[in-house]
């Protein structure tokens, strides 16, 4: 919080994004097995694998003037992986 306030006077915004389990070509080639995919789908709220095309618009939004009033928030793009379970 402190860094946001000190840099805000210079027009700098702080809005990190968090993404996990993104199915990039490298991830799929080197690390993610079919079993991993099935386990992710089981625990996620949304039943599709998280691919880069889901993350790109969120990052572009945070970089745009449309997000000019947003600071100190973390936009989580995870297909509901960390959503509270009922």
Give the CA dihedral 46, 83, 65, 15, nearest 10 degrees: -140
Quote the radius of gyration of the chain (alpha carbons, Å): 16
- Looking at the domain assignment, is residue 82 inside a domain? no
Would you say the pTM of this structure is higher than 0.75?
no
Q: How far apart are CA 40 and CA 50, in angstroms?
A: 9
Is 84 a member of any domain?
A: no
Q: Could you read off the pLDDT of 68-82 as tens digits, one per residue?
A: 888 878 888 888 887
State which residues form the domain around 26. Answer: 2-77
Please report whether residue 73 resides in a domain.
Answer: yes
Distance, in Å, from the CA atom of 45 to the CA atom of 10, rounded to the nearest integer, reads 39
Q: How far is CA 20 from CA 4, 11, 45, 48, 75, in A?
A: 24, 29, 14, 13, 12
pLDDT at 4: 46
Domain count, the chain: 1
Residue-wise pLDDT tens digits, 6-50? 455 666 666 666 666 789 999 899 999 999 999 989 988 999 999
């Amino acid at each position: 919080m402190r860094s946001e306030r000190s840099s805000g006077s210079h027009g700098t915004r702080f809005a990190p994004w968090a993404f996990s389990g993104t199915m990039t070509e490298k991830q799929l080639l080197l690390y993610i097995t079919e079993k991993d995919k099935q386990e992710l789908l089981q625990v996620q709220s949304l039943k599709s694998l998280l691919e880069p095309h889901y993350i790109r618009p969120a990052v572009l939004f945070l970089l745009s003037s449309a997000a000019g009033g947003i600071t100190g928030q973390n936009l989580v793009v995870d297909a509901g992986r960390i959503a509270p379970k009922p």
